[in-house]
Amino acid sequence: MELAAIDWKRVRRTLLRQSRLCAIPERKVEETLGLLPPMIDICGDYSRSRKVAERVGMLLMRTDVPEVIVPTCPAYPNRSGRYHRVHTLGSGVSLLTRLHLPFLERLAALIPMIRVTILVADFEAEDRILRQATGLTREAFIDRVHRTAAATRALVRPFGWNAKLFSDFMPSFLEARTQAVKWIGSVPAFDPQLRADTLARSDFYRLYYPNGTFNRMMGRTIKAAAEYTVLGDEAAARGLIIVNHTTTSLSWYLRTQAAFLQNPIRTY
């Protein structure tokens, strides 16, 4: 999708309308409109739409210090910038976090006051399949994730950013995910997308679940969809912008009111 495909006049009208409802000075709208095109320009296709531009714009014009969250995974094995077969778990900074850094630096160059928090997915310690693939107990898995969070915090501190465990950011996440899984799995209209996403994600699943059947992989796709839905709702409620890598699950942010920026990187 070309950047020019976004109708910036319509974006401007939407932001002006919202600014009047919220008593935001028109000056702030014009500042936001100056930032949006170069921000969207560094993103992937999922963020290159009027809908996403408006969501991001509405958050930018309401604050002088935009807050960004960056969900990342634990330190799974990788080689040459790609994840490969999961047989253990490291305790340093994850590949995904390192791949996000150049994008975040470009974002910070556009908005120097931006506040960034890396979220390390400690909830993956509750995943029996991942624990089996890594050969770790739950306690050992959690310990390595905690060390990854500490290493990540040390890495990003010079930028003025932070890192924390996902469970500290949203203690109710697992409960909310359970409810979202039930909802997504009960809507027949979602089935074609879930099946297509499962096929698209099958190479990824085989990195840690080589003997998984299609139906069991479908279950993992539903769980991933639930995770993105829950995070999208939470970010929208808190007025946060999500930075996310390229994945089919990004489409679930679009079903929420989340403002998100797609970092066009692939990890498998």
Looking at the structure, do residues 32 and 135 belong to the same domain, yes or no?
A: no
- pLDDT tens sequence across 194-225: 999 999 999 999 999 999 999 999 999 999 99
Looking at the structure, do residues 7 and 34 belong to the same domain, yes or no?
A: yes
Sequence-separated (6 or more) residues with CB below 8 Å from residue 19: 25, 26, 28, 29, 61
Structural domain contains residue 54: yes
pLDDT, position 249: 95
Structural domain contains residue 240: yes
Looking at the structure, do residues 31 and 93 belong to the same domain, yes or no?
A: no
Residue 35, token pair as written in the block? 């930032």
- pLDDT tens sequence across 140-199: 999 999 999 999 999 999 999 999 999 999 999 999 999 999 999 999 999 999 999 999
Give dist(CA 147, CA 215) in Å, integer. 34
Looking at the structure, do residues 88 and 194 belong to the same domain, yes or no?
A: yes
Looking at the structure, do residues 253 and 138 belong to the same domain, yes or no?
A: yes
Range of the domain at 46: 1-62
Structural domain contains residue 75: yes
Give dist(CA 121, CA 146) in Å, integer. 10
pLDDT, position 9: 95
pLDDT band at 63 (very low <50, low <70, confident <90, very high): very high
Q: What is the mean pLDDT of residues 24-53?
A: 96
Looking at the structure, do residues 181 and 81 belong to the same domain, yes or no?
A: yes
Looking at the structure, do residues 3 and 82 belong to the same domain, yes or no?
A: no
Give dist(CA 64, CA 260) in Å, integer. 18
pLDDT, position 250: 97
Residue where the block lists tokens 């975040």: 104
Q: Domain holding 227: CATH number? A: 3.40.50
pLDDT, position 163: 98
- Amino acid letter, residue 256: T
How much of the chain, in percent, has pLDDT values that exceed 90? 96
Neighbours of 53 (CB within 10 A): 26
Structural domain contains residue 79: yes
pLDDT band at 241 (very low <50, low <70, confident <90, very high): very high
Looking at the structure, do residues 20 and 102 belong to the same domain, yes or no?
A: no
- Amino acid letter, residue 9: K
Which of these three, 62, 79, 113, is where a domain ends? 62
Which of these three, 37, 62, 87, is where a domain ends? 62
- pLDDT tens sequence across 16-38: 999 999 999 999 999 999 999 99
Name the DSSP class of 145: H
- pLDDT tens sequence across 244-258: 999 999 999 999 999
Q: SS3 for 240? A: coil
Give the count of domains, the chain. 2
Looking at the structure, do residues 75 and 57 belong to the same domain, yes or no?
A: no
Is residue 3 scored above 60 in pLDDT?
A: no
Structural domain contains residue 268: no
Is residue 127 scored above 80 in pLDDT?
A: yes
Q: What is the mean pLDDT of residues 119-133?
A: 98
Q: What is the mean pLDDT of residues 121-129?
A: 97
Residue where the block lists tokens 């531009």: 53
Which of these three, 14, 30, 62, is where a domain ends? 62
pLDDT, position 1: 44
pLDDT band at 5 (very low <50, low <70, confident <90, very high): confident
Looking at the structure, do residues 178 and 223 belong to the same domain, yes or no?
A: yes
Q: Which of 143, 127, 126, 137 shows the shortest CA–CA distance to 90?
A: 143
pLDDT, position 268: 85
Give dist(CA 96, CA 70) in Å, integer. 10
Looking at the structure, do residues 56 and 140 belong to the same domain, yes or no?
A: no
Looking at the structure, do residues 47 and 82 belong to the same domain, yes or no?
A: no
Q: What rounded mean pLDDT belongs to the chain? A: 96
* 120 φψ region: left (φ > 0), alpha (ψ -120 to 50), beta (else): beta
Is residue 4 scored above 70 in pLDDT?
A: no
Give dist(CA 263, CA 268) in Å, integer. 15
